[in-house]
A and B are shown apart, each in its own frame.
Chain A
Amino acid sequence: MSTVKEQLIKNLVVEDKISHQKITVVGVGAVGMACAICILLKDLADELALVDVAEDKLKGEMMDLQHGSLFFATSKIVGGKDYRVSENSKLIIVTAGVRQQEGESRLSLVQRNVDIMKSVIPALVQYSPDCKMLIVSNPVDILTYVVWKLSGLPAARIIGSGCNLDSARFRYLIGEKLGVHPASCHGWIIGEHGDSSVPLWSGVNVAGVALKTLNPNLGTDSDKDQWKNIHRQVVESAYEIIKLKGYTSWAIGLSVTNLVESILKNLRRVHPVSTMVKGLYGIKEEIFLSVPCILGQSGISDIVKVNLNSEEEDLFKKSADTVWNIQKDLVF
């Protein structure tokens, strides 16, 4: 007796089950799920895979997303503990790792998260040897380096989410101060995603008008308008939000989705993301820090060479030292 499906549908073509725009999210904590929902709402993937060790939570999250299928256009959502589920991904977003506790700096998480990467990365590469990887777990600059080493992939394909979020926060706060949408306030934060990040005050502008020409003290301690506070708020905001709600999720999810869009659609937009900066600004070690990068289907295809003034270069080098000091003692 024929089924409803057989009676209803005359099949013409055997379904090609290969996805063309598959994204895997590793880690279904608050950050991973925020990335997932934002990716779904922006229609960036035809298949979304979720991977985690916590099987129950993973299945629950996967089902919850699937049940929303009527409302978005990603027809395949899968999940599993086995990395095979990530096979054939164009892009893998790594959010796995232990989270910052209240008051804990990103750097203190290091060794715990390095060990997690050792168990995660080789399997991902095995199933998606051509993928790009977007690292979100903290401390992101060090972990992007670690993933680069563990994966054996070219540095261009390993992207740390880095200062994309810091710069977004920076532009939001500048926008609040000026009464202008953040998208029209341009400003870059580079270096370490963390306490030693470097705000490029000389580049902060609206409609090409550098704020520094209007206020030469912009960003200094002698600035009566205290613009420096904005950078301080950027650095502290994660700690503050963690204290209030336990973790951050929405802003990082939106920022990661912004990067995903540039990569998968080969937009060649410029983002401050974490990449290998040996050779830039006099840096001699193999470290990863955020600088403005051109993102497209190859990953990071180019770096924009920003002219830093001597003070900014100093701060950038300090950022590099901060990161190298931890990285050099890593065991893996």
Chain B
Amino acid sequence: MGWAVGVCWASRRVGAARARFLSVGMAPGPRQPAGVPLGGPCSVTPVSRMATVQGELIKNLTSKESVPHNKISIVGSGSVGMACAISILMRGLSDELALVDVNEGRLKGETMDLQHGSLFVKMPKIVSSKDYQVTANSSLVIITAGVRQKKGETRLDLVQRNLAIFKLMISDIMTHSPNCKVIIVSNPVDILTYVTWKLSGIPQTRVIGSGCNLDTARFRYLIGQKLGIHAGSCQGWVLGEHGDSCVPVWSSVNVAGVPLGDLNAQLGTDQDPERWKDVHKEVVSSPYEIIKMKGYTSWAIGLSVADLAESLLRDLRRVHPVSTIVKGLYGIREEVALSVPCVLGADGIAGLVQVKLTPEEEARLKKSAETLWGILRALEV
């Protein structure tokens, strides 16, 4: 039956070539093997004997559909989502990136724009759709969708606006990636981290709010500027609520293990002649400033999210200040999410670092917890 096999082979190659002739911006990606038959098992159908270039060039060996490893999905193709995307792309963190948005036109444009840069990066599959099916089998889903903070609007004012969007989103995500970890970026992040956990039903350890990761990065940058040292060598932690009430843990601030508090007993207080407290003030005020000047923030949050993604996907077990349920810590009795130092790995939040806080710092965390709980109670989750 040599000739039948020959025709069968040709029909599969022709079929595959036609299947690949899709407009840019649609799946499948380049990994789809040439030998995938279009309609069911190989059948002897009269087809043109024309061989395609692909068939002539490449002798196909495997017919297995590629399975994504470490697939990342980003919900929301706005400035924040796309900043996360470009950071992830350039760090080469996974082999597949999926984008979801309701705004189909913008989504398609952004996807095409990323795909056209494929020559320069090592993430071979970039797909997108309005339909969450495209996120299937994700290791990590990053939620940036939501309405943008308006000029002067506090994060808490965003809450009700974002809740409705989350209800639809979470069930879709979990349907298609039941084992994923989720990073929540949308604001107010601590509230939406709690909301995501409740709506998804997945363990707390797999729900990570980007929280104070960025506040801490800003803190360390500004400390570095004051000392003439790179941020990476300035240790310091901002914990608690992401936003106006975040807590700078002055006792944690050190360079090469030397606590700055040992050198300046007034560090972070109103009596401090060096006014280190202003560093924290700037951490809180700068996002509003940036929003006033350019309309939104994107680059720093994108970089900080990619940093979290790297720890999660590569099981690094680095410690990051991210938002997680903290009931039971620091005398907090409410089931709320706040940022504390968490060990991030392949399972998500593998552990929490129990930081010794001053009574004042503890009181601030407790106050944040109460405020957040007041809002959460009022929400229909």
| Residues in chain B within 8 A of chain A (CB atoms) | 17, 20-21, 24, 29-34, 50, 52-54, 56-58, 82-83, 86-87, 90-91, 105-106, 108-110, 112-121, 124, 214, 217-218, 220-221, 224, 226-232, 255, 258, 260, 263-264, 267, 273-274, 276, 286, 289-295, 297-300, 302-304, 306-307
Task: List the one stretch of A110-118, A142-150, A178-186, A292-300 in contact with chain B.
Answer: A178-186
A70 touches B106 (CB 8 A): no
Chain B residue nearest in CB terms to A223: B53
A4 touches B264 (CB 8 A): yes
A5 touches B50 (CB 8 A): no
The 10 closest A-B pairs by CB, nearest first: A244-B109, A60-B293, A245-B109, A60-B294, A251-B116, A254-B117, A67-B300, A68-B303, A41-B90, A71-B303
Would you give the shortest CB distance from B144 to chain A, in whole angstroms? 15
Would you give the shortest CB distance from B94 to chain A, in whole angstroms? 15
Chain A residue nearest in CB terms to B290: A60
Q: Which residues 189-220 of A sit at the B interface, judged by CB distance below 8 A?
A: 206, 209, 211, 214-215, 218
Chain A residues near B260 (CB-CB < 8 A)? 4, 8
B297 touches A245 (CB 8 A): no
A5 touches B227 (CB 8 A): yes
> Could you say which interface size class chain A belongs to?
35 or more
A-B contact pairs, 8 of them (CB 8 A): A1-B273, A8-B227, A69-B224, A71-B217, A177-B21, A178-B57, A179-B31, A253-B117
Known: A172-B115, A237-B112. 19 other contacts (CB 8 A): A4-B263, A8-B255, A37-B83, A41-B86, A41-B87, A63-B290, A64-B297, A67-B218, A67-B286, A68-B303, A70-B217, A71-B304, A178-B58, A180-B30, A182-B118, A237-B24, A243-B105, A251-B113, A258-B119
Judge if A257 is at the interface, Cβ distance under 8 Å.
yes
Would you give the shortest CB distance from A226 to chain B, in whole angstroms? 8
Q: Which residues 145-187 of A sit at the B interface, judged by CB distance below 8 A?
A: 165, 168-169, 171-173, 175-183
Given contacts A64-B298, A70-B217, contact A237 B255 (CB under 8 A): no
Q: Which residues 254-282 of A sit at the B interface, judged by CB distance below 8 A?
A: 254-255, 257-258
A179 touches B273 (CB 8 A): no
Given contacts A8-B255, A179-B33, A255-B117, contact A225 B17 (CB under 8 A): yes
B217 touches A244 (CB 8 A): no
Judge if A21 is at the interface, Cβ distance under 8 Å.
no
Q: How far is the CA of A66 from the CA of B217 in the complex (A)?
A: 10
Chain B residues near A34 (CB-CB < 8 A)? 86
Judge if A57 is at the interface, Cβ distance under 8 Å.
yes
Judge if A233 is at the interface, Cβ distance under 8 Å.
yes
Chain A residue nearest in CB terms to B55: A214
Chain A residues near B87 (CB-CB < 8 A)? 37, 41
Q: How far is the CA of A227 from the CA of B52 in the complex (A)?
A: 11
Chain A residues near B255 (CB-CB < 8 A)? 8
A4 touches B274 (CB 8 A): yes
Given contacts A42-B90, A68-B303, A71-B304, contact A241 B290 (CB under 8 A): no
A175 touches B30 (CB 8 A): yes
Of the candidates A68, A168, A209, A214, the one whose C-beta lies within 8 Å of that of B120 is: A168
Chain A residues near B91 (CB-CB < 8 A)? 41
Q: How far is the CA of A33 from the CA of B231 in the complex (A)?
A: 22
Chain B residue nearest in CB terms to A261: B120
B116 touches A172 (CB 8 A): yes
B54 touches A177 (CB 8 A): yes
Would you give the shortest CB distance from A46 to chain B, in whole angstroms? 12
Chain B residue nearest in CB terms to A169: B116
Chain B residues near A8 (CB-CB < 8 A)? 227, 255, 258, 260, 263
Given contacts A41-B91, A60-B294, A67-B286, contact A179 B54 (CB under 8 A): yes
Q: How far is the CA of A4 from the CA of B32 in the complex (A)?
A: 59
> Counting chain A CB atoms within 10 Å of each CB, which of B20, B86, B228, B273 scores highest?
B86
Judge if A313 is at the interface, Cβ distance under 8 Å.
no
A67 touches B214 (CB 8 A): yes
Judge if A240 is at the interface, Cβ distance under 8 Å.
yes
Given contacts A67-B217, A67-B218, contact A181 B230 (CB under 8 A): no
Would you give the shortest CB distance from B117 to chain A, in whole angstroms? 4
Of the candidates B57, B90, B109, the one whose C-beta lies within 8 Å of that of A206 is: B57
Chain B residue nearest in CB terms to A168: B119
A179 touches B30 (CB 8 A): yes
> Counting chain B CB atoms within 10 Å of each CB, which of A65, A249, A251 scores highest?
A251
